[in-house]
Amino acid sequence: MLQFPFIPSADNYATKIQHIEVLSQVLKNIPVPHTLKTYIFHQQTLKSALFSARIEGNTLTLETTRHLDLKNPQEKQKKEISNVVKAFQEIHTISSVTLEKLRKIHAVIMKGLDSGNGSFRSEASAIYDSYGTIVYLTPEPLEMIAMLRDWLEQINLQVKSNWKSHLLQIAASHYYFEKIHPFIDGNGRTGRIMVQWQLQRLQIFADYVIPVDQFFDDHRSEYYSFLEKNSRNVQDFTDFFLDAIIWAGNKVLEDIKQSSNTDQRLQPAIADPIQKLAPRRQEIYYIIQDHPHASFDSIARRFPTIPRRTLSYDVQQLIKQNLIIKQGETRGVVYVVTKSLN
């Protein structure tokens, strides 16, 4: 059984980590209006979803994706992106990962795409290169579960003040997850979503989504080459991963600058009241849209770590903004989205 990789010393990457630290301070302190920050958040979420799907062969472009209705897509390639966007919303509701939550995230990513969505594979499989040659044999199911438990122990570690070593641990955990390959399909998209979850917990880039997926797609052959290796030594992959973080951080800064200078282009995008919502309220809205006549209890079950009082306030704000309507009384209360937005 391949054990969790050795996590390299941060001293080996002093220059790159210093660069990341500077980017972190800039993004945390740069003055950005709330509306613009929300717009950038959703744009970066869309980018990460698109490029994560493109790594797996999706051919849609960023320009075409911006004009798609991803709420109820019918075509497979659109659904692949829509599902990853919804998975981004899902990871904002969890404070720790379990085997069950991992399966749930995979089910969101693969909904309508694969009959095995949300299920761990029940037999060993093989990974092939572009020439059809086997490059890696995945672990047997029992071994796979043991490796997953090791992986969960690592990614759920409490984030301490030493964010630098934790950042290196994220690189190692992504490599290890892809070696575990716990699902028949969708392992890459699930693994990259978990990278975003770990970066979110680290909070080195404030609330911004860092589109490392775009860097991975731009350097796809290198990315796959690193992941095909079968070793506990991940120094080279860690170096590559830090390059992705630096590039993606700079990309966010570039997007902030461009968006600030193109107010006319920004207005149509932020005119959509749903896109202006904070991530959790947007997720609540889509839950009600997907499940008309949803009760408060059914909504609260989707956010086990969020106090019910906080969720109740979120729901009241959606009502106040005329985005949803309350129907019924006392225990029979349910919610539906307003007809004007359907």
Residues of the chain by 3-state class (helix, strand, coil), percent to 5: 60, 5, 35
For helices 34-55 and 76-91, the axis angle rounded to 10 degrees is 130
CA dist., res. 311 & res. 307, Å (int):
7
What pLDDT is attached to residue 269? 46
Q: What is the pLDDT of residue 341?
A: 45
Angstrom distance (rounded) from CA 183 to CA 122: 9
Alpha-carbon distance of 205 to 207, in angstroms, equals: 6
Which domains does the chain show, CATH number per domain?
10-260 (1.10.3290.10), 273-341 (1.10.10.10)
Which residues, given as ranges, of the chain have pLDDT below 50? 264-270, 341-342
B/e letters for 137-169, b = 16+ CB within 10 Å, e = fewer, are ebbeeeebeebbeebbebbeeeeeeebbebbbb
